[in-house]
Chains A and B, each alone.
Chain A
Amino acid sequence: MTGTATLKEILLRNLRQSGIFLALVALLLLFAGLTDGTMLSPGNLTNMVLQYSYILVLAIGMVIIIIGGHIDLSVGSIAAFAGAVSAILVIKNDMPWWVGVLAAIGIGVAAGAWQGFWVAFVGIPAFIVTLAGMLLFRGATWYVLGSISLSPFPKPYQEIGNGFLNGLLGGQGYDIFTLLIFAFAVAGYAVSAVRGRRARIAYNQSVETLVLFVLKIAVVAAVVMAFAWQLANDRGLPIVLIILGVLILVYAVVTTRTVFGRHVYAIGGNLTAATLSGVKVKWVNFGNLTNMGFLAGVAGVLYSARTNSAQPAAGNLFELDAIAAAFIGGAAVTGGVGRVTGAIVGGLIMAVLTNGMSLMGLGLPQQQIVKGLVLLVAVAFDVYNKRRAGTK
């Protein structure tokens, strides 16, 4: 269909997607007001990135797991185990920092493959396999650490979680390098958006009006650069943010543009139809679980680097935050639906809620209650929407 869509059409067509973005912005503004601007201060924004990066990394993997019709309860334990092994190698055995990083990621992949084997080839539901994994890898963490915490990591290892790229190009009170990187990112986004629009026009698909299109890019650019400005005024570009950015980009492409991604959606949407369409269901499920393990390994590195230690109780309940992020971000419990960007925004909503309430001096009890309600409301909104669309 050729034609242009108006703002209203776009918002309505994608109520859920636009809804969570608006919710995130509204929450940021709300807390900015309630905390007299502290929420949006350079220092606080930077801290939020550092504190929630590992949840966001897990949320990326979790949403793909959920799209495929599974669930993974073991990610917190795998992250803890990965961090523990890394600490033993680096802290106890004085190995170089990068050996720890590789080992942690290797542990994650191996744990994911182990679970993938049971799910894909033996045919046990992921809920059971990963529940077992949750106990198994938590136990393994306690075991290898001998029930005590290990610290500190060498400086380069800590930098992964706490470090910044700063002053590489100098600056007068703000970091030019940070601004430049973000400017590049925005330019890249604009170029790809223009290309996508051209392709859609070439293939006779509906596009938004030119004014709206330019406006959309301008708003995104403004928000991103404002965020960059705040970071540049604090400590510069957090290293975790680079890692996170790369992962988001890679997995957004994996889910939307690759055969593997398509097959995950197909399996979650209709398993039998996927099987009869030649999808190698077992291998895709195996790959999906293994990938989750990989990301849990990465999260393990980030968390141990951030806390500068490996603790037996590390990563406790991370899985629930990651699952909540995926569902707030629009994933469907039945599988087949969800987006990486959605899960990231879902994770950010959780992050803003936690951070905002902490700034206001609200304790853990209130935070838990609010987060629980937000999860419930978000999914209820989904269900309501689906029912409205389904009455046909």
Chain B
Amino acid sequence: MSTILQMQSITKEFPGVKALDAVNLTVERGEIHAICGENGAGKSTLMKVLSGVYPYGTYDGAIIYEGQTARFHSINDSERAGVVIIHQELALVPHLTVAENIFLGNERRGRSGLIDWNRANHEATDLMNQVGLHENPTTPVSQLGVGKQQLIEIAKALSKEVKLLILDEPTAALNDTDSAHLLDLLRLLKTRGITSIMISHKLNEIESVADTTTVIRDGKTIEALDMSDPDADEDRIIRGMVGRDLEHRYPQHEAHIGKEVLRVKDWTVYHPTQQDRVVIDHASFFVRAGEVVGLAGLMGAGRTELAMSLFGRSYGRQHSGSIFKNGEELHLRSVSDAISAGIAYVTEDRKKYGLNLIDNVRRNISAAALFKLSRKGFVNGNEELKVAEEYRTSMNIKTPTVMQTVNNLSGGNQQKVVLSKWIYTDADVVILDEPTRGIDVGAKYEIFTIVNRLAAEGKAVLVISSELPELLGTCDRIYTLAFGRITGVVDIADATQEGLMKLMTQERSAANAGTEDKEQARS
């Protein structure tokens, strides 16, 4: 093996912050190289330096790529050299077709200078085959699920004759099947001599796929682990990332379960645009005071749809069934109905659904409960400031001041702001949708400590997650959801990953549409 990339003592400073401090990274040709680190450790910055987002000259240190000092001034420069980065948020244009997306900016032209669509579609089919995708090249990408979109991104990279593929959290939005498929694809590309750098928080994936793992902490390289070494396991990586041992990945939680708070009976919801399509089918469940209940389901099972439809009918049409709180039936017609009934829904994807990114911490925290801070329509700004400061302390939100724009916070701290916002509504039923997606191990621990605190205060907590170890580590009881139906409920004492997965893939009704359709409905 030869070395394809050497980043030597890379230092990148922003006004007031040293994001990277003499970071070294050595990547061998044809390996899968994982980069691990807490959020804010500098992984993305490092990749932006490598791919020319931060042009040559704006950082210190040297990049030796293919034996030569690289001087990338833009992404175009790095792509020409075969370095292609696939960002966490997919950069596909939803209304364009697969082929149009693959060749966007790199269009296949005929002799006349106009685009040769036959050639483009033909080559697109070929590229898709290489990544194991069998779709019509003229399908708009919006009709494909996230997993397939991720594959299209890779096909797009292949079209640029990629030598070094950088993937930023490629499996963050994927379910287990799609993730496995993607990792297999990386292994396949490896046999073809394509080198991959993968940023990921999913340590089990890193363990299974990576040849080398570089750990970054606080803008510094901590170590590069050879993954063939038997000692280089998840715990070893975590120790490097956080600089300490995490005895328990999830905080201890002692349940003091009280009486039933939330009960949902025969909840049925139809798709918002496609008539006659049942998305949630007679779902029934309950959550008791002080209890942390998990809702496990694969992507497309209807987890978010269930939560959102309960939350003041924010999703779907023709809702039927009933919701009871403390034995009384609720009729929630809007989000504000749900909030005043004491229900909080901490949305998935905090950037899209949870926060006003251009506004500050203070006003994001108060956003869902301005009624508590206002009289006759006037907001008490001083009181609001006090509340924000209280939450900054109690939730350990790391920000210089509460007047900081939330966009400048790290993922974990943003999530704490979203949690603060909902806790401040004084809800006694708290639904958390993927509360730890894209945040690092340390912050995850903190989030679950907060979840435990909520339960200890006697609130009924429902956690939606696609990561089974997380549910197993934190819940008292777990419901499984498959194809819009509740397929089982398991007490934590009896729950295993295998058992849950079996329930999560159980298709009770043959009349139901396949997984593929469900996935499309989400995207």
Contact = CB atoms under 8 A, between A and B. Distances in A.
Interface of A: 1, 199, 202-206, 256-260, 262-263, 265-266, 269-270, 272-280, 332, 336-337, 391-392
A391 B14 contact: yes
Given A1-B400, A276-B347, A258 B378 contact: yes
B227 interface: no
A270 B385 contact: no
A311 to B, nearest CB: 39
Nearest to A256: B381
A204 B339 CA distance: 31
B307 to A, nearest CB: 11
Interface residues of B, number: 42
Contacts of B370: 259, 262-263
Contacts of B382: 199, 202-203
A270 B357 contact: yes
B33 interface: no
B358 A269 contact: yes
Given A1-B401, A277-B367, A280-B334, A257 B381 contact: yes
B192 interface: no
A204 B389 contact: yes
A340 to B, nearest CB: 16
19 contacts: A202-B382, A257-B381, A259-B371, A262-B363, A262-B370, A269-B358, A270-B357, A273-B352, A273-B355, A276-B335, A276-B345, A276-B347, A277-B367, A278-B335, A280-B334, A336-B356, A391-B54, A392-B14, A392-B17
Interface in B340-397: 345, 347, 352-359, 363, 366-368, 370-371, 374, 377-379, 381-382, 385-386, 389
A205 B389 CA distance: 10
Give the interface centre of A275, A276, A277, A278 by most chain B CB atoms within 10 Å: A277
Contacts of A279: 335, 367
B359 A265 contact: yes
Nearest to B418: A273
B446 to A, nearest CB: 22
A259 B389 CA distance: 20
Contacts of B347: 273, 276
B389 A276 contact: no
Contacts of B367: 262, 266, 273-274, 277, 279
Interface of B: 14, 17, 19, 54, 311-312, 314, 334-336, 338-339, 345, 347, 352-359, 363, 366-368, 370-371, 374, 377-379, 381-382, 385-386, 389, 400-401, 403, 408, 421
Contacts of B314: 275-276
A313 B42 CA distance: 59
A259 B377 contact: yes
Contacts of B366: 262
Nearest to A263: B370
A276 to B, nearest CB: 6
A139 to B, nearest CB: 36
Nearest to B383: A203
A63 to B, nearest CB: 16
Contacts of B19: 392
A336 B401 contact: no
Nearest to B354: A273
B134 to A, nearest CB: 34
B379 A258 contact: yes
A82 B385 CA distance: 43
A270 B355 contact: yes
Nearest to B375: A259
A359 B385 CA distance: 48
A204 B382 CA distance: 11
